[in-house]
Structure 1
């Protein structure tokens, strides 16, 4: 399922910029290791004028072709593709190379810095595997904490597939997991606030659904976030 994260740029649009934007629209999408034939039509239907930045989790990278994952036309990956990577950004080529910077990455986390129309934005993309519900932390907490410590003061958006459950995002019918409680408390130390609407499903299969794709933002960014919810298919 795709998630729209639309961030309104509150500064004046610069008409001389080669890719002027009043909104920074980010499409978050977990491919489930299948962005080949199954996901290709969806990828190719993306309007780059609306979504110049794609935050991808679980891209398909095979042993047969370890340096390749399908990328929509005129998009480039934020870093070289490699076997085992679970996150990557895809950025439309009309976004100037000087407007974004790959800061750091592991197979499961990536930090991107974007500067558009005078607004600086840091984006963390994360995939944390499911793991046992009784675990004290999400599977990739140590990697996430490390990349959080690399961020600078300012606008920060954290998005990804966290694979943990809590009523704060899953709704009142969901029992809180220890790892989700830990995530909330630790992210508060980095002044990150949840963007999800409680009970809005972000994953569905075979009649089942859940909320595992999450978004968090720092206080200065909250008023700019126009929408963080599933993208209509």
Structure 2
């Protein structure tokens, strides 16, 4: 969307990437009564357009990705779909990927093979398309992925009336039907605490403490001292990730290596 033709929809928070020399333009609209914030999207391949917005829910949050992969670009979706190991996600867009998994009548291309491999290796993410064509010529170019734990409360369908050359897709998530997230385990492992060390360190702090003049500062100082001495004497618990035991973090170095592996992996020729 060009800057001279700005779109506004009253009652909605608008997140948009304007159309430009290297962008086809994209937009995510969130009802203004729902808290939301823009998120820096992960890298999905050179020339692949990605947009992300976090929807803040009562007990959790959902990151919504809007993707467009031009037909001539190569998709790198490993980091994108791995997001489901860390948080609730909905990933939707035009992937220009072809595979019989998406549509039984289509022929496979490299991007389709790439996505199906990721789905096979990542049980935390699920494709929820029903197999119906998303393009008026019969192709299935538009795909919707969600965190697997959302599948029981999800509904995906085609809108036959709202269309251009692609049909509109509707994904409904009944988030209120999800069970509440599990309570986090206690931060401190008090069963292994060195209580003598804790008491000695706290006593040492108190003997050197000059009491604050105001009660609020006194309260803050005492709280900080308890926290500090607990760090020395009480070991922390070691909770596992709530989504997957192999939870791992991406940083710039890991991201670079991930991209290098995907780019240098042997390619399989597809017709």
TM-score range, shorter-chain basis?
0.5 to 0.7
Task: Say if 1:151 and 1:218 are closer, same or farther in 2 by CA, change over 3 A.
Answer: closer
Partner of 1:129: 70
CA contact (8 A) 1:69 1:81 kept: no
Q: How many residue pairs align between the two structures? A: 153
> Which structure has the larger Rg over C-alpha atoms?
2
Shift of 1:80: 6.3
Query: Which of the pair has the greater relative contact order for Cα pairs under 8 Å at 6+ separation?
Result: 1
CA distance in 2, matches of 1:103, 1:166: 30
Task: Say if 1:85 and 1:101 are closer, same or farther in 2 by CA, change over 3 A.
Answer: farther
SS at match of 1:124: strand
Partner of 1:202: 134
Task: Say if 1:76 and 1:224 are closer, same or farther in 2 by CA, change over 3 A.
Answer: same
Shift of 1:116: 2.4
Task: Say if 1:90 and 1:195 are closer, same or farther in 2 by CA, change over 3 A.
Answer: same
Shift of 1:114: 1.1
CA contact (8 A) 2:98 2:106 kept: yes
Higher helix share: 2
TM-score, scaled to structure 1? 0.56
TM-score, scaled to structure 2? 0.49
Higher strand share: 1
Task: Say if 1:154 and 1:122 are closer, same or farther in 2 by CA, change over 3 A.
Answer: same
Task: Say if 1:109 and 1:130 are closer, same or farther in 2 by CA, change over 3 A.
Answer: same
CA distance in 2, matches of 1:161, 1:181: 16
Does residue 92 of the first structure (1) align with residue 60 of the second (2)?
no
Alignment of 1:68-217 (within 5 A): 68-79=5-16, 81=18, 83=20, 84=23, 86-95=25-34, 99-105=35-41, 108-131=49-72, 139-142=73-76, 144-148=77-81, 153-171=86-104, 173-190=105-122, 191-198=124-131, 200-204=132-136, 208-217=137-146
